């Protein structure tokens, strides 16, 4: 069971990925379920629950907070059991969810109310999703039979680019990162990274370079 946390109204989880990119990055594991929990209350979570329903071919689990934090409320969160359960029951009525519960601010009373509201609705029917190659950086990259030409940047390849090879051998990672950035800025939808070179500790160089570009959102948005 894998759950992500949408941190704000941007719809991105803690890693910076969109909901679809998050799903693309974990679907290969064939999880028992996938879903969202925590940060947002059910009202703000609604569009992302609907999106997951449309793209995921496994059961969906939803564990929202009881609204947003409120230090003046008895539980520290805005929503009463009636409010939270009412919002979640709308997801069940739409046929979007299979597993429900509550995260921060929910109490046994919230869980009991959720159970009471959703039990009358059938669980979500897991859909058949169109087969595609589904990749992700911070954003999804889906490649199907109807996809147009896919631009793959190959300059971050030590056997294909002497310039890049020299930068990596000399440990000039700042300039090497710029090579990757330029590829994405010029339209690369995927970047090919290869560190297989006799003069390198290839594994060490690969790990370092990947960690560095992972901290650059304008590069890591592509796979």
Q: Check if CATH label 3.40.50.10800 holds for domain 2-118.
A: no
Q: Residue 33: helix, strand or coil by DSSP?
A: coil
Query: Which residues pair with residue 157 across a beta bridge?
Result: 194
Q: Which two tokens stand for residue 117?
A: 């509201």
pLDDT tens by residue, the chain, 223 residues: 999 988 877 888 888 999 999 999 999 999 999 999 987 789 999 999 999 999 999 999 999 999 888 888 888 888 999 999 999 999 999 999 999 999 999 999 999 999 999 999 999 999 999 999 999 999 999 999 888 899 999 999 999 899 999 999 999 999 999 999 999 999 999 999 999 988 889 999 999 999 999 999 999 999 9
For 30, counting Cβ atoms within 10 Å of its Cβ (0-12 exposed, 13-18 middle, 19+ buried), the class is exposed
Residue ranges of the domains in the chain? 2-118, 148-220
The Cα–Cα gap between 117 and 195 comes to 55
Rounded to two decimals, what is the model's pTM? 0.87
The Cα–Cα gap between 16 and 9 comes to 12
| Contacts with 171 (C-beta within 8 Å, 6 or more apart), sequence order | none
Report yes or no: 103 and 4 within 8 Å, Cβ to Cβ.
Answer: no
């Amino acid at each position: 069971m894998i759950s992500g946390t949408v941190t704000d109204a941007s719809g991105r989880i803690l890693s910076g990925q969109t909901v679809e990119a998050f799903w693309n990055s974990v679907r290969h594991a064939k999880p028992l379920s996938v879903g969202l929990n925590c940060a947002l209350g059910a009202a703000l979570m609604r569009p992302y629950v609907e999106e997951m329903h449309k793209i995921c071919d496994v059961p969906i689990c939803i564990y929202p907070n009881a609204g947003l934090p409120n230090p003046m409320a008895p539980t520290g969160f805005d929503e009463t059991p009636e409010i939270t359960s009412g919002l979640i029951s709308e997801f069940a009525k739409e046929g979007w969810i299979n597993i429900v519960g509550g995260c921060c601010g929910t109490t046994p009373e919230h869980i009991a109310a959720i159970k009471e509201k959703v039990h009358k609705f059938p669980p979500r029917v897991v859909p058949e999703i169109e087969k595609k190659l589904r990749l992700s950086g911070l954003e999804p990259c889906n490649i199907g039979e109807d996809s147009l030409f896919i631009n793959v940047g190959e300059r971050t390849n030590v056997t294909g680019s002497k310039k890049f090879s020299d930068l990596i051998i000399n440990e000039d990672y700042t300039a090497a990162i710029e090579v990757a950035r330029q590829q994405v800025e010029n339209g690369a939808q995927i970047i090919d990274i290869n560190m297989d070179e006799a003069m390198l500790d290839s594994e060490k160089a690969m790990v370092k370079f990947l960690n560095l570009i992972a901290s650059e959102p304008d590069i890591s948005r592509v796979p």
